[in-house]
């Protein structure tokens, strides 16, 4: 019998082996999302400021981060999309009674509960496609390693994720990001052109460079 989700286009992406182990994957996520909960708490005065993600101000990037983090958490909790999902791009922190940090913590708890189940070995319906659960987890980790840095450097905070998390995310992106997924401004859901960094650069810098970020970026004076 055909499953209804079989009609949703499948996006093939292979995740590194660590993303087949729920406990190991949760251990990579836990400190990243704990730090992200701090990074999304920015003063109102900083919200109009630019970020290394060229198409977003701090306010716009915070909305993007929170909207999609909730989407990832819900998708991994409900891989067959048995319930309706909100539009991640329509999320606005200013319309949410919760503190931004609380949104991250609630999503982190939901994501960790999902990882304790069998979701990494299943297919997950995202928005317009379905992916292996392991690939969804790898993509989400990379997303928040990079956007956590975006928000942190834009607001003058330190961002120091583990080498293990950065290396795992970069390995996944190296197999997923085709040339057609890159654009000059990195906007519209695409990655910017790769920024060369030395082979012996820190793991975070190698991840950022591959994702199209300049690790030396600083806010305009």
Q: What confidence category does residue 185 fall into, taking pLDDT thresholds of 50, 70 and 90? A: low
Structure tokens at 8: 């949703």
Residue 4: predicted pLDDT: 55
Q: What confidence category does residue 127 fall into, taking pLDDT thresholds of 50, 70 and 90? A: confident
Structure tokens at 140: 């989400």
Once rounded to an integer, what is the mean pLDDT over residues 156-185?
A: 91
Residue 115: predicted pLDDT: 98
Once rounded to an integer, what is the mean pLDDT over residues 170-190?
A: 78
| pLDDT tens digits, 43-99 | 999 999 999 998 899 999 999 999 999 999 999 999 999 999 999 999 999 999 999
Of 192 and 52, the one with more pLDDT? 52
Residue 3: predicted pLDDT: 54
Residue 46: predicted pLDDT: 94
Structure tokens at 116: 């304790």
Residue 39: predicted pLDDT: 98
User: From residue 98, how far is each of 73, 102, 111, 171 by CA, in Å?
Assistant: 17, 6, 18, 35
Site of tokens 């891989």: 79
Residue 2: predicted pLDDT: 43
Residue 152 has pLDDT above 50, yes or no: yes
Q: Crossing angle, helix 58-77 and helix 133-154, to 10 degrees? A: 160
Q: What confidence category does residue 5 fall into, taking pLDDT thresholds of 50, 70 and 90? A: low
Residue 186: predicted pLDDT: 47
Residue 212 has pLDDT above 80, yes or no: yes
């Amino acid at each position: 019998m055909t499953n209804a989700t079989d009609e949703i286009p499948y996006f093939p992406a292979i995740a590194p082996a660590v993303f087949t182990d729920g406990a190991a994957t949760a251990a990579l996520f836990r400190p990243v999302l704990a730090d992200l909960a701090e990074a999304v708490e920015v003063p109102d005065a900083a919200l109009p400021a630019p970020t290394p993600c060229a198409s977003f101000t701090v306010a716009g990037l915070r909305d993007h981060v929170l909207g999609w983090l909730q989407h990832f958490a819900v998708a991994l909790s409900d891989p067959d999309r048995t319930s309706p999902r909100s539009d991640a791009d329509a999320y606005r922190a200013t319309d949410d009674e919760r503190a931004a940090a609380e949104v991250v913590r609630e999503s982190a708890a939901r994501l960790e509960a999902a990882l304790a189940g069998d979701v990494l070995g299943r297919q997950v319906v995202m928005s317009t496609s379905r992916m292996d659960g392991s690939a969804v987890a790898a993509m989400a980790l990379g997303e928040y390693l990079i956007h956590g840095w975006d928000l942190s450097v834009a607001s003058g905070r330190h961002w120091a994720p583990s080498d293990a998390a950065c290396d795992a995310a970069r390995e996944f992106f190296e197999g997923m990001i085709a040339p057609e997924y890159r654009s000059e401004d990195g906007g519209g859901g695409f990655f910017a052109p790769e920024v060369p960094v030395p082979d012996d650069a820190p793991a975070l810098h190698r991840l950022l460079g591959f994702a199209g970020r300049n690790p030396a970026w600083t806010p305009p004076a």
